[in-house]
Structures are given as C-alpha cells and as structure tokens.
Structure 1
Amino acid sequence: MALCCNVFKTLCRTKTLDISNTESQFKRCLTTLDLTILGMGTMMGSGLYVLTGVVAKETAGPAVILSYVIAGLVSIMAAMCYSEFGSRVPVTGSAYTYTYVTIGELWGFVIGWNLVLEYVVGGAAVARSFSGYFDELIGYRLSNFTKNVIFGGHTYDIPYFAAYPDLFSGILVMFVVLIVIFGANVSARCLNVMVSVNLVVVTFVFVSGLFLGDVRNWSDFFPFGFAGAFSGAASCFFAFSGFDVIALSSEEAIDHEKGVPRATGLSILFAGLSYVAVSVSLTLMVPYDEIYENAAFSHALAYHGVVWAKYVVGIGALCGMFTSLLGTVFSLPRSIYAMANDGLLFTFLAKVSKRTQVPVIAAVIFGLLSAIMAVLFDLSALVEFMSIGVLMAYAIVAGAVIVLRYRPSNALKGKSHSPAEVASPHSSDSDEEDESLAAPQEGATDEELIDTLEREGSLKRQFRFLTFLADREPGQVVCICLFLTVIFQTLVVVVGVAAWDRIEMGDWWAILLMTSSIVLTIVTFIPIPMHNQTTNGRGYNVPLVPYVPMVSIFCDIVLMVMLKPVTWLRFAIWVGIGLLVYGLYGYCHSVEGRQRVASTDKQKYKIISDSGVPSPLALYGTIALQQPKSSEEETDMEKESPPSKTEL
C-alpha cells in the first residue's frame, strides 16, 4: 500500500521552475505583431473557405454568422486561460507545461503527448487540403499525373488510406519544415506576407458580397432554428483552434507578460471578424440551400458573373492553408522540445541549433512523420484523429487556472520556486513579505490579524463557521470541489446527449438522473468561490474566476462528448502508447524526479564535523534561517565547539 502511495505521489509531482534563471536556448525575437499574425495564420486556414459553406448549407443557414460569434466567445474564454499562463510562465510548452506545473507530471505528459499527435496529424491534414485545392484550381492535372504517370493508373481501396499516394502534400510538409528550421524570424516573415494576402482576399470577398448581395436571402435567417445555430457553433469552434501557438512561443516573445495576452486577444478578434465577414458575404450573395460546399465563394461569385474571381479566392485559400500549415509545423518541434527537455522524451530531441535556435532534430523527425501521413492517409481519416487532444488541453488549462488562483503563493520559498509561486501574482515578493503572511506579528492590530486570516486559498471570513471546510489546508477544498464538479458536469452532458429523448418523453429515471447531476454540479461548485484568491498580479488575470474557466470547461466537455466513438477509441490507443513510453523511459529519466531524489539524498546525509561527532544540523537535513546572534553569543559558541564542515 505504501509503495502504491509513493508511486501515485511521484506521478503527481509538479514541475519546479527557477524564476531566477532567465537563460533560454531560444531567441526572444517575436514582437506582439509577430505573435498576433502567428495566431491568425494558424487559425485562418482551410476552415475560412471550406467550413463556412458547409455549416451554412447543412447546419445553420444564414445563422452561420451567429454560429461564428458564439464559437468566438467560447474560444475567448479558453484563450484567456492560456493568456494568464503565457504571461506568467515564460517558457515553451504551452498546455503541457501549464499542466505539469499545476496538476502533475503524468497529466502533463498525457496532454503533451496528445498535442504532439494533434500537430503531426493536423499538419498532414492541412497539407492534403492544400494539395486538393491546388489540384482543383489547375484542372486536376496534379492528381492525374500522379495516378496515371507515376503509379500507372493503379489505385487502392484500403480503409483510412488514400486511393493513391499524395506525393505533393508530403513534399509540401517537408518544405514548410525547412522554413521552420531557418528560425522564428524567417517563419514570422513568411507568415506576415501570407496572412496579408489572405486578409486582402477576405476584404475582396466581403466587399463583393455587399455589392452583389441580396438582403432577401436573409428572409429565412434561422432555417434550422436556434438549435441549428448552436450546432453550427460546435463545428465553427474548431476554426478558432490554433491560438495556443502564441502561448507555445512565449519563450521567444520579446515581452511575454504583455505580448502574449494582447496577441491572443487580437488574433481571435481579427480571425472572428474575418469569419463573420465572409459569412455575411456568402449568405447575402447566394441562398443558403444553393451554396456549393466544395468551392462556396468561387461558385457564389460566378453565380453573379464574376468567373475570374475564383483565382483570387483560390490564392487566398492557398495562402490561408499555407499559414495554417506553417503555424502547425512551427508548434510541433517546440512541444517536443519542452517534453524532452524535462526528460519525459528522449533527450536528443531537446537539442537546439545554436545558429537558428530551433530544435532541428525534433522538427525533422516528426515533420517527416507528418509528411508520411499526408502521403498515405485519407483526409477524412486524418480529421477524425484531431480535436480531442486540443479540447482536453483547453479544459485542463482552464482547470489549472482555478487551481493556481486558490493555491497559496507563499507555499515554498527559495531560489527554486514552486509552480504556484512562478504563476502566482506574489512571485516577485520578497521572503520577508512571505514570512509576514505566515503568522501575525507580536502586537498586531485587529485588522492585521484579520488580514492574516484572509490567506490565499483559505475560506473567507464570512464562511468560517463552516468548520468542515475551514479546517482544511489552503487550496485543498478547491481542488477536491473542482475535481467533483468536472465529474458531475460530464455526467450532465452525457445524460443530456444519450437520454434527452427519454427526458422529453417524461421517463422518471432520466429526469431524476439529469436533475441529480445538475444539483450535484452546483453543490460541489459553490465552495470554490467561498475561498480567497491570489491578488495583485503583475501579469494578465482572467476575469470572473472561477466562473469563466468553469464555463470554458463545460463547453469543452460538451464538444468532447459529441465526438465519434471511434475517435475516443483511437485516443485511448494513442494514450496507451504514450503511457508505455512514459513508463519505460520518462518515469525514470524525469529531470524533476532526479532533482527530488538528489534533494532527498542530501537531506538524509549526515553532516560530520572535524571531531567526528555528528553535527546537530544532521538531524534536520536543511539549514533554516536563524536570527542574528550578538557578538557575545558568537564568542561563547566558538569556545564551546570547534568549527565544522557542512555540505549541503
């Protein structure tokens, strides 16, 4: 039993960051504008030109505009949580690092492992989209040449595999890897050019829609009802995925405290405005039921006689997909570097080029894996792999914000700070200020005593009559309640999705199960805001904590539950492979684990004096700060005992 407890504690160990060490293997060269364009480029990919038409025709009609607004608001809640971490934890790793420093090593590894899959598969999917769109634009010459000339007209009918290898998409992935290897500056310049072209095309489409549109096409604005608008929002939500690349690049940001939050907010704002603009244009130009899904905007402009516009839209679409691919490949080696640098993956993957400040080995190996998947797999099969890892990362980061807000900032002291101190607003406070919070000073006033009771993570004064909550360690009740709330939220969503028909039919067991789940969710959530939060932060703070992060978690759970069962099966298989890697390698080679073992060994080591008598310090293993002694006391001590050697 004791062994199991020790293993569990080891798996839940959190990463300790040394905030006094500001050195980085990456070059801080990205401005707020660069970060904003990086986020916009990653988000505004194929979804801008393809997803809009699909949702408008099949799900929401003209209300696709509202769908994008709802999806944008939900994305902003998740983005705010990333911004708070990105401004306070200036290291690469994004959701992986945030989870590691707050919840624990195993959870951090699972999140990082799944994000690696998302970036690998996402890059392959975008590359195939680019290849297909480009092939259609040039009259299918590329696919005909590949099938008829290279492979002699042979095609394949294997589940999840493409009918023929798409060599062009694989070459495209490796070309983008080459750009990423040249450094963040080169990637930023390419993104600046491509995003600018994309915005020009979006403006052209929007203005064309205003001139060529007909307001009568909005006469039936909600053809699928309000439910269609909300269902469309679930699909449109994934059009905003990609802003986490900004937090992932915080170690390369010139001003991470202000630049990361600003860039995250601006990128979602401009991306959202672009999505709304093209939705307005499309639904004004063509009745929603006449939209051609595969080439919605080209067909809409041709519908009004502007046939040449398909090339303008095609250029914008290709630029958008290229920037999305570049942003995805840009994120891939940095995620792997963060895990390898912590010892959870092979350490050679953490080697950074001194010339370009890029993890070249990680970029080449996993870029090649993404290229192989782009060549061999079908696009629909690749898309099914995506989404679940991103949604889980969003949910856990939101939960981590709640944990940090209610965790005491003075829990540990010293040069090597705990994750709570690094991410807490009091991280810059001195040791004297921390000690003043630990206990009331002699002769303190009533107000000072009250302030001492109002510790971070402890129960607020007006609720201290609840002794079963007040007697707990600061932050402990919040963590337990957060865990239970998420479980009951999940139960609410599962019951709502699986048994909604039974609820409408009035089946008592379904109504009872739903009602009980909702009540338990509320009851377990109520104690969280009854505790004191950390305050006076230097960096960005998410407003309305814990309400905003909790709503974000709920939305993420809804979207995850709506995914196909086969997606969950593949997710479970990938996680199983990851746990095998962690168990065989990461658990033993964890840098944090080795540091803790070394620290424990030092504490157990007995400090022997020159006379051979164990020093009293050996009873403690650490040297505590003591009050300065008078000169007479020091003289007496020198007479009583000889000088001794101490080794920490």
Structure 2
Amino acid sequence: MPLGSSRLKPCFHLQTSVLNANELIIVAGDLDSLILILCSELSSQCIQHTNTRNNMENIRQFGKKLFRVKTFDTQSLHETEFRRCLSILDLTGIGVGSTLGVGAYVLAGQVARDDAGPAIILSFIIAALVSLLSGLCYAEFGARIPKTGSAYLYSYVVVGELIAFVTGWSMIMDNIIAGAGVGKAWSEYLDAMLNLTISETIRSEIGEFQSNWFGDYPDFLAFVLLLIMTAVVAIGVQLSSITMFIFTVINLAVVAFIIIAGAPYANIHNWTSNGGFFPYGFPGVIAGAATCFYAFVGFDVIATSGEETTNPGKAIPLSIILTLVVCTIVYILVSTILTLMVNYKDLALYAPLAQAFSQNGFDAAKYVVAIGSLVALTSSMLGSIFPLPRIIYAISKDGLLFQFLGRVNYRTNVPVNATIVSGLLTACLALVFNLQQLVEMMSIGTLMSYSLVVISTLLLRYKPDHIGLNKQQSSNFNVFPREDSSLIDLGEGLSRRYTNAASPSGDDSDERQLSITTTFADGESDDVQRLVGKNHTFEQQRPSEVTYTKVFWLTIASILLHFAMNSILVFAESEVINGVWWYLFLLAILLTASIICAVFIWRQPQNTMQLAFKAPLIPGLPLLALFCNIHLTLRLTLATWIRFFVWLVVGLLVYFFYGIRHSKESESSGALPAVTRDD
C-alpha cells in the first residue's frame, strides 16, 4: 500500500504533541512543587505517626501506673515501725469491742419493731452468715500478709494501685463515719435516758440546722466524746487494747444480766399475737437482715492490726471467727429476750432494750442496761477510731497520701498526726450529721471494702505467683531470730530454713543446717516429691498467666451478672414477688450464666501454695459474698451515693495531683507481680 495511504496515518502530529520550551519550564516547576508537597506530606505523616506512637506509649505507661501492684519480700513482712504485742485474746477483745454495740442496744429493737418482728432472730443469723463469707476472706489475707492496711493493702497486691487507693479512701470514710455514727448513737442514747434534756437545751440555747443535708442540731456531746477517744488511741496501742478489753468484759457482763434478769418476764404470747413470729413475712426477714448486717461491721479491725500481732498466721483468722461467733450468739440471745419481754409493736423508739425492763416494772434494771449500753457504745466507738490512723499510715507510707500522715511517734508507736487529723474530722461529722445519715454513708464504704477483699481472695488463688507467707513461714513467724536464720521459699508450700551456728573453727559453712518441711492440703507437686524422695506418678496442672487471665475475665463477667440480677431483685422487687414471668425468666437466664462462669473458674488450676489459713469453697464462697455485698449496696439511698461520689471525687483529686507522682511503687515496673522474694 502506498505510504500516503490513509490507513498509515501517523499516530500523532509533532507540532501538536511536543511541548514548547515555556510549557516544559512550567511542567518542571509543577513537578518540583509536587515533589515538595509530597515530601512535606510524607514528613508530616511521619511526624504524626511518631506523635501517635508517643501518645500511645504515654497512655500505656499511664495505664501501667494506675494498675501497678505492690511488691515486697518476706523480710519486709517481719519489719514494722509498730510494736508487736497483740495476742489472740487482745485481737478478739478488739474485734468484739468494735462490733458488739449498736447491734444489741439500738438495731435489735429498731429492726424488730419496723422490719421483722420476732423473726429478727433469723435476720441476725442471715446477716452473720453473710458477714462470715467476707470474714473468711479477710482471715486468709490477714494470715498471708500480716501488714497494716487491710482491704487497701490486699487490693493493692492483687488488683492495682488506683483500685487500692479508692478502696483505702473508702475505708477512711467508712471508719470516720463509723466512729461518728457510734458517737452520735452514744449521745442520743444518753439523751433518751435523760428524757431528751440535752437535745432540747441545745435547740433552745444554740439553735437547729435548717438543711436536710445535716442533722437536727449541733451535737457537742458527741464531738467532745470523740476527741477523748482520739486522745486514748494516740497514747498507744496497749492502752487502747486494755481499755477495749475492759469495756468488752463489762459489755458481756451486762448482756448476761439482760438475759438472766429478763428471762422471768419472757412471755411466749408476744411471739404468737399481732401477726405471730413472722408478722412481716419472709421479705421482712430479708429487709431486717440487710439492716442487721451493719451490726457485724467492725471485725475487719483485726486484719488492720496485723502488723501489731505477735502470731498473725494463727491469731488473725481465729480472732475473726471468734468475734463473729460471739457477736452472733449475743445478738440472738438479746433479740430473743427483747421480743419475748415486749411485743414488737410496743418496743420503744429510743433505748428499746433499757425501756423493755421499765415497761415490765423493773426500773432498776433499766439503769444497769443503760450503763452497759453506754459502755458498749464507747468500746465500739474506740474500735472504729483505732484502725483509722493505721489505714492512713499504710496509704501514706506507700506515697499515695501526704508524707506527714505516715510518721510514727517513737514513744507511743502510733501515727499521731494521722490520729489527730482523723479524730478531728470524725468529731466534726458527729457534730453536724444525724445518726441515719451517718449509718447510710458508712455502709457504702464497708461494702466496697468487703467486695474488693473477696474479689482479691478469688483472684489470688488462681495467680501463678506465690504471694505472702506460706504455712511454715507463718508458723515460724517469731520462732527464729531474723539475724540468725533465713527462710527460702521453694514454692508449692516447700521452704528451706538455713541457720548459721558459730562453730569452734569459725567456719559457718560446715555448721549450716538444712531443714525441709512439707505440708500439703492440695496434693504434692512433682518437684516436692522429688525433693523428699518419693516416687511420683502424676503431674498436677499449675496455674499460668493464660489460666489466670481466663479467671480474671470470668470474674468480671460474674460481677456484671451479679449486678444485673441484684438490680432486678432490688428495683423490681414487687414484680418478682408477684411472679411476673418475664422477670423470673430473665433472672433464671442470668443465674444460669453466673453458675456457668463459676464452673469455668472452678475448672481452672489453683495455686497450691500452702497457707496458715485458707478460705474454703473457692470460688463459691467469694462469689456468693460478692452477690450479697452488691445486693446490699444497691439498697442504699440516692443521697448516700451522692455523698459517696463527692468523697470519691476529692480522693481522686488527691491521687492524680499527688499520689500517682509520689507512689513508692513508681520505681518498680507495673508489670511485676506482687511476689514475695526471700533474701
């Protein structure tokens, strides 16, 4: 085909496709600009990515600070600025003195009259069992970690710093309000015995509060009394212990008098008339148990005193159990005599136990009971103030509160600054609030502390680390002088004690003795069996970080399920009682899911560390205790939650502006486990 044929037309024309020189310059400039823009954008993206990584790292480091756990070694569990002088008898006296007061002389009459009738006996039994669930968890921790701090320290070891601070801050509020509440009850009780002379005089001479957020009038009697109790605590632990023991003996003697003197006036007709033994039905028994629960608040003072105990591994668990048993027996006997002497509808509004004798014509006994009541309330007040400076001391020593609060007076072995500050605050609260407001505010702090302890007990059983003192270390706590011996923890309940005896040749190595002690409650591990020369035919599954993570998230799920179930039981109580089917169906689903979580937790391997005391029925016991604590918490009023929220906000400001920067754990990695290390 000829070259000029239309089928061979050029694909482009040079004169229209080739750019001229000016256009090339423009394009080149655009390319330079484009490259600069791309480079700038790339640089910006790199900087942004770096900033993002830095921000993420900062967030991660901040999160580690919030959840870093407390670490220590066994040597530090022996060291203390306090004086170890409290025996089982001392601790039991402190526990009973702190617990046995308002329940017998105030709550017994109030609950019988308004909630349960004669069935208050069952209310006290249910409340005692609920308290025992948490008490056994406190007993295990107290034997494992005999240091001042109680629930604050236990949650710091297991859960982390922020939760521990919130727990400790709640415990401070709890004990301050408990002391103020008992001081207020003491004042009101004496005022009632004097026909309201004190309160009427203050109202007429000074005036009343004109706000629903405060009490009726300024209670100067409670204010002065609490300052006196603060001075007693500041003088020293021995004076506090002796004082509480004397008060406890007097209290128990008065209780014996009430039972013996009131028995002749007992009339079974008071249990059969006006609705009989269950005038308010079973819901009334449960409502009464919710109130009676606070009659057992106070036993945790024993765990707080762990650093001043001579044999904590044995003394703390036994004292907690004895305290709860003694108080339960007393409450049952007192409520039985009270409701048999006077019909529940006729019980006096103030000082019901003392007035019961007056209603039966035995006026002389009224004054004996009144004196016993005041002694019991004084002991309970002292028991509320006693652990308060020790809790503040523990938090301050960890750097989370102001340092001056953690100073211990070398003469009295008491943190005097913390005692004075907390005592003044307690007295001021008693001055301006009424008893009902104080009791409700106390409840939320107590229940939060109890809940954190049972959760920590559950989690600690499934951690792969060995934390605290094992059984042998607890039993030998004060047997061997620390400078002459060292105890090396080999794990799985096995320990070696090396003792250095001075030989004539001066060569300590030849005289070094090795003793291996093995005691097991959960079976022997392979390592232990090899060390003691036994043949082994099985390998026990051990906890790991993987199994512990499963338990942690299953525990979180259980908490949410318990919260959901209790929300229905509390806020839809009438619908549940009336049998509305879909409420019952929803409860059945939640209960089934909760049981499944408990079974999966139970299937995980537990830590086999041998302890001086172990809470039984893990995980059932702490999960049941958690359920009860959540139920009681949800029954608190909205005003109580608002007051607690205000207190919590103040605490969080203290933590984020001071505590997080001064924490003693800031020098160690937040990822380190709270494992005891034996030097």
Short-chain TM bin: 0.7 to 0.9
Kept in 1: contact 2:259–2:337 (CA 8 A): yes
Q: Which moved more, 1:7-16 or 1:35-44?
A: 7-16
The Cα of 1:505 is off from its aligned counterpart by 6.6
Give the letter for the 2:215 counterpart.
A
Q: Which residue of 1 aligns with 2:128?
A: 72
CA distance in 1, matches of 2:453, 2:225: 32
Q: Which residue of 1 aligns with 2:541?
A: 454
Q: 2:226 aligns with which of 173, 184, 203?
A: 173
Give the letter for the 2:572 counterpart.
A
Cα 1:427–1:310 shift into 2, 3 Å: same
* RMSD between superposed Cα atoms in Å: 3.0
1:244 aligns with 2:300: yes
CA distance in 2, matches of 1:17, 1:201: 45
Kept in 2: contact 1:115–1:390 (CA 8 A): yes
Offset from partner CA, 1:266-299 (integer Å, 9 cap, x none) = 1111111110111110111112222123121222
Q: 1:378 aligns with which of 434, 441, 454?
A: 434
Q: Which moved more, 1:490-499 or 1:193-202?
A: 490-499
Q: 1:253 aligns with which of 289, 299, 309?
A: 309
Q: Which residue of 2 aligns with 1:262?
A: 318
Q: 1:359 aligns with which of 415, 430, 438?
A: 415
CA distance in 2, matches of 1:50, 1:410: 44
Q: Which moved more, 1:550-559 or 1:561-570?
A: 561-570
The Cα of 1:155 is off from its aligned counterpart by 3.0
Kept in 2: contact 1:27–1:252 (CA 8 A): yes
Cα 1:118–1:425 shift into 2, 3 Å: farther
The Cα of 1:162 is off from its aligned counterpart by 3.2
Q: Which moved more, 1:76-85 or 1:566-575?
A: 566-575
CA distance in 2, matches of 1:313, 1:17: 49
Cα 1:441–1:141 shift into 2, 3 Å: closer
Q: 2:68 aligns with which of 13, 20, 40?
A: 13
CA distance in 1, matches of 2:352, 2:529: 71
Kept in 2: contact 1:425–1:539 (CA 8 A): no
Kept in 2: contact 1:409–1:426 (CA 8 A): no
Q: Which residue of 1 aligns with 2:624?
A: 551
The Cα of 1:569 is off from its aligned counterpart by 2.0
Give the letter for the 2:329 counterpart.
L
The Cα of 1:438 is off from its aligned counterpart by 11
Offset from partner CA, 1:543-588 (integer Å, 9 cap, x none) = 1111111111111011011111221222222212211111101111
1:268-347 correspondence to structure 2 within 5 Å: 268-347=324-403
CA distance in 2, matches of 1:255, 1:66: 35
Query: So what's the TM-score if we normalise by structure 1?
Result: 0.83
The Cα of 1:598 is off from its aligned counterpart by 14
Offset from partner CA, 1:578-622 (integer Å, 9 cap, x none) = 1111110111100011344999xxxxxxxxxxxxxxxxxxxxxxx
Query: So what's the TM-score if we normalise by structure 2?
Result: 0.79
Q: 1:476 aligns with which of 542, 549, 563?
A: 549
1:216 aligns with 2:282: no
Q: Which residue of 1 aligns with 2:163?
A: 107
Q: Which residue of 2 aligns with 1:577?
A: 650
The Cα of 1:378 is off from its aligned counterpart by 2.5
Kept in 1: contact 2:104–2:335 (CA 8 A): no
Give the letter for the 1:454 counterpart.
Q
Cα 1:172–1:479 shift into 2, 3 Å: same
The Cα of 1:312 is off from its aligned counterpart by 0.6
CA distance in 2, matches of 1:57, 1:16: 50
Q: Which residue of 1 aligns with 2:448?
A: 392
The Cα of 1:496 is off from its aligned counterpart by 2.3
Offset from partner CA, 1:170-193 (integer Å, 9 cap, x none) = 111110011001111000111111
Give the letter for the 1:314 counterpart.
A
- Secondary structure in 1 matching 2:75: coil
Q: 1:58 aligns with which of 114, 126, 144?
A: 114
Cα 1:481–1:295 shift into 2, 3 Å: same
The Cα of 1:210 is off from its aligned counterpart by 1.8
Kept in 1: contact 2:493–2:608 (CA 8 A): no
Q: Which moved more, 1:226-235 or 1:37-46?
A: 226-235
1:130 aligns with 2:130: no
- Secondary structure in 2 matching 1:164: coil
The Cα of 1:512 is off from its aligned counterpart by 4.8
The Cα of 1:440 is off from its aligned counterpart by 12
Cα 1:555–1:156 shift into 2, 3 Å: closer
CA distance in 2, matches of 1:136, 1:62: 24
CA distance in 2, matches of 1:300, 1:348: 49
Q: Which residue of 2 aligns with 1:619?
A: none
1:429 aligns with 2:467: no
The Cα of 1:133 is off from its aligned counterpart by 1.4
- Secondary structure in 1 matching 2:123: helix
Q: 1:157 aligns with which of 210, 224, 227?
A: 210
CA distance in 2, matches of 1:45, 1:422: 45
**How many corresponding residue pairs?**
571
Kept in 1: contact 2:447–2:633 (CA 8 A): yes
Q: Percent identity among equivalent residues? A: 37
CA distance in 2, matches of 1:440, 1:205: 56
Kept in 2: contact 1:404–1:424 (CA 8 A): no
1:369 aligns with 2:425: yes
Give the letter for the 2:495 counterpart.
D
Give the letter for the 1:179 counterpart.
V
Kept in 1: contact 2:96–2:248 (CA 8 A): yes
CA distance in 2, matches of 1:395, 1:553: 6
Q: Which residue of 2 aligns with 1:184?
A: 237
CA distance in 2, matches of 1:190, 1:411: 35
Kept in 2: contact 1:440–1:448 (CA 8 A): no
Cα 1:536–1:339 shift into 2, 3 Å: closer
1:491 aligns with 2:564: yes
Query: Quick check: which has more Rg, 1 or 2?
Result: 2
CA distance in 2, matches of 1:307, 1:510: 53
Kept in 2: contact 1:89–1:422 (CA 8 A): no
1:28 aligns with 2:84: yes
Give structure 2 stretches of 5+ with no counterpart: 1-55, 474-486, 498-513, 517-523, 673-679
Give the letter for the 1:86 counterpart.
G
CA distance in 2, matches of 1:533, 1:23: 30
Q: 1:2 aligns with which of 57, 71, 88?
A: 57
Q: 2:660 aligns with which of 587, 592, 595?
A: 587
Offset from partner CA, 1:453-505 (integer Å, 9 cap, x none) = 511x25xxxxxxxxxxxxx6242211111111111111111122223444567
Kept in 2: contact 1:209–1:280 (CA 8 A): no
Q: Which residue of 2 aligns with 1:463?
A: none
CA distance in 2, matches of 1:137, 1:490: 43
CA distance in 2, matches of 1:177, 1:264: 24
1:581-620 correspondence to structure 2 within 5 Å: 581-596=654-669
Q: Which residue of 1 aligns with 2:31?
A: none
Q: Which residue of 2 aligns with 1:526?
A: 599
Kept in 2: contact 1:127–1:374 (CA 8 A): yes
The Cα of 1:33 is off from its aligned counterpart by 0.6
Give structure 1 stretches of 5+ with no counterpart: 459-471, 600-648
- Secondary structure in 2 matching 1:475: helix
Give the letter for the 1:403 counterpart.
L
CA distance in 2, matches of 1:441, 1:424: 13
Cα 1:15–1:380 shift into 2, 3 Å: same
Give the letter for the 1:230 counterpart.
I
Cα 1:272–1:229 shift into 2, 3 Å: same
- Secondary structure in 2 matching 1:429: strand
1:515 aligns with 2:588: yes
Kept in 2: contact 1:206–1:280 (CA 8 A): no
Kept in 1: contact 2:488–2:495 (CA 8 A): no
Cα 1:58–1:422 shift into 2, 3 Å: farther
Cα 1:44–1:424 shift into 2, 3 Å: farther
The Cα of 1:6 is off from its aligned counterpart by 2.6
Cα 1:264–1:566 shift into 2, 3 Å: same
